[in-house]
Chain A
């Protein structure tokens, strides 16, 4: 067992400071949600981490978002209120079940939380998932802070049951990770009514699916009436000739800048309450739409014949903030002297791009691949940082699992004279790499797949997965064996290696790429941060031996630092930061002059000398 600290039960109304993610988990519990599943992904991860700690619920990490969603469908059809959570790109993976679950509809409340990442703080794109709720024809709720994240979760689950439809709660990074004050209420006991089969509703073969599509269209009309009348879509009366239409986080930025303007606040953005907006439009001289990312409201308002302006003044790219909103409103002539213009002094300071941690086991693999001049097809995880200087040893990153298929594709067209490898983390391989590997075997693509097994979903905070041996709620379970799995998929040559042994890792990789068949290399070493952060076990540089060659600097370890002192040839020598060095020994293994030694050994030698 891994001990998971349970959260105390809420027995009376409580006022507390919560992130949007925590507020959603608690709101779901207040509505009697019993089952929740997810695949970790920033900024959504903490929803399930919080929910899993609540007494009386079942929560699980699934292998990927599609499975999380399908497991959720099963639970909801069995009559358990259900929540599935994922980041925006995760919904792409779950699109297949989502599109048809919209047809069957649900039995118990089913909430899909889509956590979008405008600005791409930790993502490969910034797609606007409001488009997906509209595409799937399901209702969508857009909270603008933690309080609404909590309250809308509850209302969304009610709507889900009332209209028998899956619903989407669409949040963004600044909702997920911002904290605000939330009013919590006591919890009910969750119920599970049991699965009752209904073939015409749940078996989506053409003759039944056609009837269900009709039902979806009727349901949308009923939902439109609900959205038009809901208090979540409301007019906030105000002063001035310019009216604002806004929703989500943009609402807060607008109110920061224009506290008194007449405003239509959108809480349910699909179906969009166009008639209520039209009535509001009639009360103002001009209508300005402020929304983050795509012109989702604006285009629908134009289509409904409501005159308005929006993306003319506000960017489609990146996230909004009070300054960008103020600038747009100023340009639109809608500020009326409010929000004085402030020009802060711009200061240029060196950037701090994220780097692989000191002691990270991925570093030796990239060092070896660089030496081999390999073409490296990368994937989603910490190791994507292998693309950055000085390693610069990862050459693509598209989506979860893409490395395997892309490397195979290059080999199928004989597109490179260099060794072609795919590099993929353990959790990412289980999420989206297994089918790619089977495909490579089936189609005889001579690729080498490197599985970086660090026993955690590290990038998102060290979550469990089917390779770690523990569940989200801390129970012991089966842990997959990557070598056996590869062999079962038909890989004839699958090699384990210890990435802390640089020589062995290099030798193993060279051998793997020399075989003209699909091969697998599994590099196993736990992450330095999870489950427990490694304590420093420092090494040090013998400055009289260091020749300033820079081999240790080129591995890109933050603990290896250039110093002022130079060699006769004017090359800078190095030192090792004793507070962050974990003793992985990679620098020592690439040092050509043996100038690096463990601090402990030297101290012991000093001590024994003293004893003599």
Chain B
């Protein structure tokens, strides 16, 4: 077992399923034998605010908060949130951004604008930035509600958690009757990420 703590920051907008995704990840990390801590703030976030959930696992975890700039993976459920948190990704870490835009009411005032190309800007900060159409994949598998399982699948290749543990946790935690759909969504997310990684590395060549 690795001595280092693995830091995963999951971010998005209230109501997107960030907290459920971090629950599944924490549960899977515990089942894989790690010490786990997870932290987020409930409350106002439900009313359209930013949600960020810190998940940390390893041999022994102290603080429930990820030190600044040390996230191994930032998983963003929303494009501008991917940019907001891009600076938290560690030097060789990964940013996975769901290519969905949720434009807050405040963008209708003259003081604020929604960024024009959030993912492009994020790429300038994080070398390993992967964009995914999570909603498209979820809809293709069967329901827009599957976005969070798709996105978890997309980061699963980065994590020291075996596939069979993921499968057991998903089966136990998702609503009854949606197990197969969720497992399919998880697999599609993982595949989409692999394809994206291959595309990126071929671009480099």
Contact = CB atoms under 8 A, between A and B. Distances in A.
Interface string A172-201: 011001111100000000000000000000
B205 interface: no
Given A145-B37, A350-B104, A556-B105, A342 B48 contact: no
B6 to A, nearest CB: 14
B106 interface: yes
Interface in B62-80: 62-65, 67-70, 80
A390 B109 contact: yes
B87 interface: yes
Nearest to A353: B106
Contacts of A446: none
Contacts of B64: 145, 174, 178-180, 249, 252
Given A174-B65, A385-B47, A350 B80 contact: yes
B196 interface: no
A319 to B, nearest CB: 9
A468 to B, nearest CB: 19
Nearest to B49: A354
A553 interface: yes
B161 interface: no
Interface string B27-40: 10010000111111
10 contacts: A177-B42, A178-B39, A178-B64, A323-B67, A323-B68, A354-B49, A357-B48, A389-B109, A459-B43, A558-B104
In this complex, the member of B106, B109, B114 whose beta carbon has the largest number of chain A beta carbons within 10 angstroms is: B106
Q: What are the 4 tightest A-B residue pairs by CB atom distance, in nearest-first order?
A: A122-B43, A344-B69, A354-B47, A345-B87
B195 interface: no
Contact of A342 (B13, B70, B103): B70
B47 A347 contact: no
A222 interface: no
B197 interface: no
B108 A561 contact: yes
B125 interface: yes
B145 interface: no
A570 interface: no
A561 B125 CA distance: 30
Given A255-B62, A347-B83, A350-B104, A121 B41 contact: yes
B159 interface: no
B70 A256 contact: no
A323, A344, A356 pick with most chain B CB within 10 angstroms = A344
B119 interface: no
B78 to A, nearest CB: 10
Contact of B107 (A253, A350, A382, A461): A350
